[in-house]
Amino acid sequence: MNLLYFTSIDMSNPDPGAKAHIENILIGLHALDWDITLFSCASRPDQHPKYPFRNILIKKKNYSLLSQIIEQVKLGNLLVRKKWPADIIYVRFSPLLIAPVIFGILKNIPVCCEINAVTEFSVSFRKLLPVALAIENWILRKSRRIITTSYEIKKHLSNRAGIPREKIAVIPMGYDVRVDNGEYFGRQKERDKANCWIIGYLGQLHQRQGVSTLLRSIQIVARSYDNVQLELAGSGPEEPNIRKLIRELGIEKKVKLLGYLSRGQISAFLERCDITVAPYYGSFEDTPMGSPSKIITYLAAGKPVITSRLSSLQVFGECADVFFFTPDSGEDLAKAIISVIVALEKGEREFGKDGPRFVKDVFSWDNLVTKTDYILQTCLKKR
């Protein structure tokens, strides 16, 4: 079975998120005897990874609108000239990755489209938003099957494009599950002797991530636990405002800004943390959210997680290592942090066992590859 897979993700970029998801899904499908040709971007071809399947590199000179349109014209010409055998076309979609969809429709090749972001909130060229939405809705209607990462996005796409929900499958982002070997609990005891509680945040410093709520909660927690320390790992447009708020709250000695961390540094960071937080702001109730990789990462590392009580995150209510607080409430987040600290102090329960199990059951690559293979097989049966 021949699969042509298209993505605008730069696979030469070391970012472990979307790149890791694409790599692991395709390697898994390759092991299931799919004959794969991956079309991907490469800003640094000399650093591009080698795969056990064909990989056609599309080198982007820049990310301007004109450049992307030119690249799509080139891609369309390439598909017509080379005549790659294709049983199915898979597009990890962006509004400007339209050439392979048109090619599939013209050649009567089933198209499977993956959309993991809501265009209304993510498109860069705001003046062209109506055009981008019209193109995306047309592609959604023409695709044989659609894959997205959350039920909220599934509902949104179905309503906006007027397509039946059963046409859309939900397959979340995957994660490399680290099976806990008991070392986490040894490190926890050593940190207790150092008499310091480390609260960790990993992710972008962006308004929607709710870091300001977390900072206000630390000010409250510090009144009861002078030995609390917040470590913020990440960067983003909100960093100047975050630094200003830290000064206004008088918690300079309680907060460390670590900046961007590499994959290896992330592991060391999580090992230090006693509690991890994903304080998404409340307006996410009105913005369809994709797969929350931050929470998945925390749980896979065996950490207790405190996150916002949002409908899109209720799936994590099945995990005993996840605790919820009222979105945008520093007071309620502080209560949640203190309650977990108290439980850790008293040894009332053993944290870190259910998280890795939950991630393995729901977000492991084997599980997601099986689901993806099933969706692709259904596309072929309907041909």
With H, G, I as helix, E, B as strand and everything else as coil, classify residue 200: strand
- Count CB neighbours of 362 within 10 A: 18
Amino acid at 236: G
- One domain for residues 160 and 217: no
d(CA 45, CA 64): 20
- One domain for residues 140 and 245: no
The arrangement of strands across the sheet holding 54-58 comes to 54-58, 35-41, 2-10, 88-92, 111-114, 145-148, 168-170
- One domain for residues 139 and 163: yes
Q: How far is CA 72 from its chain centroid? A: 26
Residue of 340, 268, 302, 315 lying closest to 173 (CA atoms): 315
Please give the model's pTM, rounded to 2 decimal places. 0.76
- One domain for residues 187 and 198: yes
Q: How far is CA 59 from CA 37, 94, 377, in A?
A: 16, 17, 31
- One domain for residues 356 and 210: yes
- One domain for residues 211 and 130: no
Question: In this structure, which long-range contacts are made by residues 306-310, counting pairs with CB atoms below 8 Å and at least 24 apart in sequence?
Answer: 306/275, 306/276, 306/277, 306/278, 306/279, 306/333, 306/336, 306/337, 306/340, 307/277, 307/278, 307/279, 307/280, 308/210, 308/278, 308/279, 308/280, 308/281, 308/282, 308/284, 310/280, 310/282, 310/284, 310/285
- One domain for residues 145 and 61: yes
The number of domains in the chain is 2
| Residue 169 DSSP code | E
Residue of 102, 103, 69 lying closest to 83 (CA atoms): 103
pLDDT number for residue 197? 95
d(CA 229, CA 114): 40
Strands, E assignment, 75-227: 88-92, 111-114, 145-148, 168-170, 197-202
- One domain for residues 164 and 202: no
d(CA 79, CA 281): 43
Instruction: Compute mean pLDDT per 10 residues along the chain, 383 residues long, and list them.
Output: 90 72 93 94 78 85 70 86 89 79 92 85 69 88 92 89 94 65 39 74 88 96 95 92 96 95 86 94 67 86 94 87 95 96 85 87 88 94 69
- One domain for residues 140 and 193: no
Q: Residue 279 belongs to a domain with what CATH number?
A: 3.40.50.2000
**Residues 217 and 210 sit within 8 Å (Cβ to Cβ):** no
- One domain for residues 28 and 15: yes
- One domain for residues 154 and 204: no
**Residues 147 and 368 sit within 8 Å (Cβ to Cβ):** no
- One domain for residues 225 and 281: yes
At a CB cut-off of 8 Å and minimum separation 6, what does 88 contact? 1, 2, 3, 4, 109, 110, 111, 112, 376, 379, 380
Tell me the residue range of the domain where 194 lies: 183-361
